[in-house]
Amino acid sequence: MMIGLSEILELGLPLVLDPSVLLLAVVGTLTGLFVGAMPGLSSVMAMAILIPLTYRMSPQQAFGLLLPAYAAGTFGGAISAILLNIPGTGAAIMTTYDGYPMAQRGQAGYAIGLSCVYSFVGGIASAVFLAAFAPIVAHWAIRLGTREYFAVAVFGLAVISYLSSSLIKGLLGGALGLLLATVGMDVFTGVSRFTFGRAELAGGLEFVPVMIGVFGLGEILHTVDAGTREGAQLPQKIGRMLPELKHVLRCIPTAIRAIVVGMFIGIIPASGPTIGAVASYGLEKRIGKRRDQMGTGVPEGIVASETANNAGTGAAIVPMITLGIPGDAVTAVLLGALMLHNLRPGPALFTQRMDVVASIFILFFLGNILFLVFGLLGAKFFVRVLKTPQRILLPIVAALCFIGAYAARRSVFDVHVLVLFGVFGFLIRKIGITPAPLILGFILGPIVESNLRRGLITTGGSVSAFFARPVSALLLTLTLVLLFSPLLIRLAQRLHSALQRQPGKGASD
């Protein structure tokens, strides 16, 4: 189960060094950079569209395409954040605060170069963390039973719902995802549920068209509805790309803090790199050497955000590969890719398909090196890409969504499912429900249902038994605290203001 560096290299390197895998890694990197840089196109959309192409590939080829796209897409978001003040991906949102002012001062190239170098630093740190920590978690996960798996999945859903703009809407998205996961034959009894007589639904809703529909077509319709952007107004001068060594060295303490924060938050199921970047920027603003200048265009702001979001990428893969619980929307898509290749994430993957695990570690490492090279060499090209009008680009991406959904199984029914979920994904966005909890609920649905029912059957229907084991008790208690925290905070605030209003009591209390 425990896997060392020599074993990773021995098992994974021969598979990764295949020319087709290396070529796909370059294609994945360029796709990630392109999509990450383009506002309106997200990394998760790119991954969802790329997955059907991997249907006939080996797992190494598939992950050779997907993992570099993930790593490069996370960095790519910084390009438009710096040049346009619009984050290309959610994870680059904090990069706008210091990146855009730097670009306005004529330091766009320096800002992009710095974000590329420190995204690489964060990415490599997270690749090392993934390779070192995932086997330990997998080893520990063998001991987990049905109640623990249920608790981990419910905790993941609670975290992602909590992070939504509204807790009620986030939970509703998660619950709808759980409901969608019940479509098809019940594995315990063989009874069909919600199939409406369609043979295509007997095995449940196909993951690929649902994913492409919600994250691809739904996002496109949402962007069109919000108003498309014409060719962007870019800074006149991009300037020197490669940052000077003294500037790189100056930011090392910031980067170390960002790595720790990014990894710590990234590994929490369902929190992902975006939250890590926000937390890291917040920490830098509180304790950093140039905390007073944050937001005015200082390199530390870019480094805090970009190092943390890439440090979170590898960490987010850890719960996905070891427990089957995705760390964010992108790792949810990666989980789908594993399942598409008949690979079941969890401790068994580390014993039965160590070759796949080792190649995933190496490919993630490689992906980070590739985006450093192509990011620094090709950033000026990606700057030009930003001039592509969305009016032309979005219909082309929509067409790729259709063909992607069809390509996986060559099924017209899958295209209909894609359209249905595309429109559904658009409508839920319109009323403020973010699609990430929905997809996470859809993916975690089978884990939640089977472990809940199995747990209840073995304990004679006792709900309290779920609190009898330490890990499940801790996670379920945390879930309850998280869900009721808005209520508790409001109660505490009312109590505080009531105490302040009492005569003879005041701020001194």
Partner 1 sequence: MRHYFNSFTVTGIGALLIAAFVGRYLTNIPFAPLRAGLGPAFFPTVVAVLIGTLGVLSVGVGVAQARKQPHKTDVQPLRWRSALLIAAVVLYSLGMQYVGLLVSTAVFLFVAMIALGVRLRHAALATAAASAAIYVVFDVMFRIRLF
Residues found near partner 1 in the complex (CB under 8 A): 53, 56, 166, 168-169, 171-172, 175-176, 178-179, 182, 186, 188-189, 191, 193-194, 217, 220-221, 224-225, 227-228, 389, 391-392, 394-396, 398-400, 402-403, 406-407, 410, 412, 415-416, 418-419, 422-423, 426, 430-433, 448-449, 452-453, 456-457, 460-461
Nearer to partner 1, 106 or 389 (CB): 389
- The two structure tokens encoding residue 394: 């979005």
DSSP-assigned letter for residue 216: I
The answer to whether 51 and 214 have CB atoms below 8 angstroms apart is no
The answer for residues whose C-beta is within 8 angstroms of residue 368's C-beta and 6 or more apart is 71, 120, 123, 124, 127, 310
Nearer to partner 1, 120 or 424 (CB): 424
User: What is the nearest approach in angstroms of partner 1 to the Cβ of residue 211?
Assistant: 17
Distance, in Å, from the CA atom of 57 to the CA atom of 294, rounded to the nearest integer, reads 46
Nearer to partner 1, 61 or 96 (CB): 61
Nearer to partner 1, 121 or 157 (CB): 157
Distance, in Å, from the CA atom of 441 to the CA atom of 424, rounded to the nearest integer, reads 15
- The two structure tokens encoding residue 490: 């409001």
The answer to whether 272 and 262 have CB atoms below 8 angstroms apart is no
Nearer to partner 1, 217 or 302 (CB): 217
Nearer to partner 1, 175 or 260 (CB): 175
CA count, 13 A, side-chain hemisphere, 161 = 27
- Secondary structure of 165-184 as H, E, C letters: CCHHHHHHHHHHHHHHCCCE
User: What is the nearest approach in angstroms of partner 1 to the Cβ of residue 92?
Assistant: 26
Nearer to partner 1, 190 or 470 (CB): 190
User: What is the nearest approach in angstroms of partner 1 to the Cβ of residue 81?
Assistant: 25
Nearer to partner 1, 257 or 429 (CB): 429
Nearer to partner 1, 324 or 445 (CB): 445
Distance, in Å, from the CA atom of 201 to the CA atom of 185, rounded to the nearest integer, reads 8
Nearer to partner 1, 105 or 453 (CB): 453
User: What is the nearest approach in angstroms of partner 1 to the Cβ of residue 220?
Assistant: 8
User: What is the nearest approach in angstroms of partner 1 to the Cβ of residue 483?
Assistant: 11
What distance lies between CA 157 and its chain's CA centroid? 14
User: What is the nearest approach in angstroms of partner 1 to the Cβ of residue 261?
Assistant: 32
User: What is the nearest approach in angstroms of partner 1 to the Cβ of residue 166?
Assistant: 8
User: What is the nearest approach in angstroms of partner 1 to the Cβ of residue 462?
Assistant: 9
User: What is the nearest approach in angstroms of partner 1 to the Cβ of residue 214?
Assistant: 14
CA count, 13 A, side-chain hemisphere, 218 = 30
User: What is the nearest approach in angstroms of partner 1 to the Cβ of residue 216?
Assistant: 11
Nearer to partner 1, 84 or 217 (CB): 217
Q: Which helix (H) or strand (E) is 153 found in, with range?
A: helix 146-162
- Provide DSSP, 190-234: --EES-TT-GGGTT---HHHHHIIIIIIHHHHHHHHH----S---
The answer for residues whose C-beta is within 8 angstroms of residue 332's C-beta and 6 or more apart is 44, 211, 320, 326, 436, 439, 440, 443
Distance, in Å, from the CA atom of 76 to the CA atom of 34, rounded to the nearest integer, reads 7
Nearer to partner 1, 54 or 254 (CB): 54
User: What is the nearest approach in angstroms of partner 1 to the Cβ of residue 75?
Assistant: 25
- The two structure tokens encoding residue 193: 């549920």
Distance, in Å, from the CA atom of 196 to the CA atom of 409, rounded to the nearest integer, reads 21
CA distances from 19 to 13, 60, 361, 505 (A): 12, 11, 18, 75
User: What is the nearest approach in angstroms of partner 1 to the Cβ of residue 383?
Assistant: 21
- The two structure tokens encoding residue 129: 């963390």
Burial of residue 82, with CB atoms counted within 10 A of its CB: 0-12 exposed, 13-18 middle, 19 or more buried: buried
- Provide DSSP, 356-413: HHHHHHHHHHHHHHHHHHHHHHHHHHHHHHTTS-HHHHHHHHHHHHHHHHHHHHT-HH
Distance, in Å, from the CA atom of 459 to the CA atom of 457, rounded to the nearest integer, reads 6
